Structure 1
C-alpha cells in the first residue's frame, strides 16, 4: 500500500515537471526529470513485472518503441523532437484507455453539453 502511495506521488511530480518543462520552452532537464519520475512512479504503482509486460506486449511494441525512444531523445537533449515522438508513442500505448477515462470524467463532471455529445456518439459507434 505504501508503494502505491509513493508511486502516485512520483507520477504526480513527474507530470508536474513535464508540464513545467514544456511551459519553460522545452527545458530538457525538467522534461528528462519528469519522464524518469513518471516511469518510476508507474513501476511503483503496478510493479516491475507488470510494467515490463505492459510495454513489451506484441501489439504495443510500436507504441513502446516510440514512447521510450522519445524519452531517450529527451535525455539526449533533443526535447522538442523527443516530446513529439513520445506523445505519439503515448497515444499508441494508451489509446485503449481513452474511452474509459472519458467515460469516468463525464460521470464525475456532469456537463450537459458534453453528456449529450458523448451519448450521441455512443449510439453511432
Structure 2
C-alpha cells in the first residue's frame, strides 16, 4: 500500500482546485483572474506532491528546456492578463513536457476493459440499436 503524507494530500487538493479554476476560467470566456489563480494552485499543488527539488529538476532538465520555457512562459502570459495567448502557449508547453507520458496513459485507458466494474460499460456484446 502506498503511504501518502499530509503534504501530498494537501497537494492533491490544491491540484484539484487548480484544475477546477482552470476549467471554470475557460468556460467563462478565458477569465484571466480565474486562469491565473488556477495556474498558481496547480503549480503549488505539484510542488506539494513531488517536492520543490524534484519539481525544479523536472523543469530544468536540458532536454526539456524548450517545453518548460513554453509552459512557464504561458503561465506568465496569463498572469500578465493575456489569457488566450497564454493558454495556447501553456498548452503547447504542456504537450511537449508530458509527451512521453501520453502513451502510458492511453495504455491505461485502453486496459479499462479488463477492470471488473468498468468492463460492463465497455462490453461490445450488448447493442443499443
- The aligned residue for residue 16 of structure 2 is 12
- Helix, strand or coil at the partner of 1:96: coil
- List runs of 5+ in structure 1 lacking aligned partners: 114-125
The two structures have a TM-score, normalised by structure 1, of 0.86
Matched, 1:87 2:91: yes
CA offset at residue 17 of structure 1? 0.4
Structure 1 distance, partners of 2:100, 2:106, is 11
Structure 2 distance, partners of 1:112, 1:70, is 41
Q: Which moved more, 1:101-110 or 1:67-76?
A: 101-110
The two structures have a TM-score, normalised by structure 2, of 0.84
- The aligned residue for residue 122 of structure 1 is none
Structure 2 distance, partners of 1:53, 1:70, is 19
Q: CA RMSD in A?
A: 1.3
Bigger Rg, structure 1 or 2: 2
Structure 2 distance, partners of 1:27, 1:77, is 9
What does the per-residue CA deviation read over 1:17-55, in whole Å, with 9 as the maximum and x for residues that have no partner? Answer: 000000000000000000000000000000000000000
- Helix, strand or coil at the partner of 1:19: helix
- The aligned residue for residue 100 of structure 1 is 104
- The aligned residue for residue 58 of structure 2 is 54
CA offset at residue 112 of structure 1? 6.2
Q: Which moved more, 1:101-110 or 1:62-71?
A: 101-110
Structure 1 distance, partners of 2:59, 2:97, is 8
- List runs of 5+ in structure 2 lacking aligned partners: 114-118, 125-129
Matched, 1:63 2:70: no
Q: Map 1:6-45; keep pairs closer than 5 Å.
A: 6-45=10-49
